[in-house]
Amino acid sequence: MAPIAPRSGDAVFANVERVNAELFTLTYGAIVRQLLTDLEEVEEVNKQLDQMGYNIGIRLIDEFLAKSNVSRCVDFKETAEVIAKVGFKMFLGVSASVTNWDADGTCCSLILEDNPLVDFVELPDTCQGLYYCNVLSGVIRGALEMVSMKTEVTWVRDMLRGDDAYELKVKLLKQVPEEYPYKDDE
C-alpha cells in the first residue's frame, strides 16, 4: 500500500528548490513576448504555448510523482484534487480549488485565485484573445496524458480578460485502460 497521498503540497513545496518569483515571471513573459513577435498571430501563440506546456507536462509528471509520493488515484475526481492541491502548490506555490463537477464526474474546473505567471501583466489591445497562461493548460493535458487520461483543458475565466479568477476547465475525454495480460468474458 502506497503511503497516503498528501492532501496539500505544502510539505513538498517546502523542500523543492525555489527561484525568485520575479525572475520566473519575467522569464515567462519574455517567452510570450518573443512568441508574439515571431508568430505575430495571437491564435498561433496560444497554440504554441499549449504545445510548450504539453512538452513540459509530459516530463513534469514523473518529477511530480517522484517528489510528491501520491498514491494511485482511484478516479478522476481524486486526480483533479491532487492536481489542484498538490501539483499547483508544488510547482507554482499556489493551490487551486476544484469546483463545478458535472454529473458523471468527467469534467470539472480548477480555479486559481492568484497566479504567479501574470504578475504585472496587462493585455494590450493588440493582444486581445491571447491566453497568456495557456502553458498551464498544456502542462495539465500533457501530464494527465502520461497517466493515461486523455483530457481537454480549456480556459473559462481569465483575470487578464477582466474575470474575477482563473478557471481551467478540465474535461476527461477517455481513460485509456491499462492492458491486462488476458481478458475473461464471464
Partner 1 sequence: MASTGCFIIVSKNDIPIYEAEVGSAAKKEEAAHQHQFILHAALDIVQDLAWTTSAMFLKAVDRFNDLVVSVYVTAGHTRLMLLHDSRNEDGIKSFFQEVHELYVKILLNPLYLPGSRITSSHFDTKVRALARKYL
Residue numbers at the binding site for partner 1 (CB under 8 A): 22, 26, 28-30, 32-33, 36, 119-125, 127
What CA–CA distance (Å, rounded) separates 131 from 154? 10
**Smaller CB distance to partner 1: residue 150 or 161?**
161
145 close to 58: Cβ distance less than 8 angstroms: yes
C-beta of 41: minimal distance to partner 1 in Å? 15
- Contact present, 168 and 83 (Cβ < 8 Å): no
Nearer to partner 1, 70 or 92 (CB): 92
Cβ at position 122, least distance to partner 1 in Å: 5
Q: Which is nearer to partner 1, 25 or 97 (CB)?
A: 25
Q: Which is nearer to partner 1, 26 or 56 (CB)?
A: 26
C-alpha span between 128 and 5 (Å, rounded): 40
Q: How far is the CB of 47 from partner 1 (least distance, A)?
A: 18
Q: Residue 38, Cβ neighbours under 10 Å: how many? A: 11
Cell numbers placing 111: 480555479
Smallest separation (angstroms) from partner 1 to the CB of 55: 21
* Residue among 90, 111, 120 nearest 27 (CA): 120
Q: Angle at Cα 78 formed by Cα 72 and Cα 79, nearest 5°?
A: 70
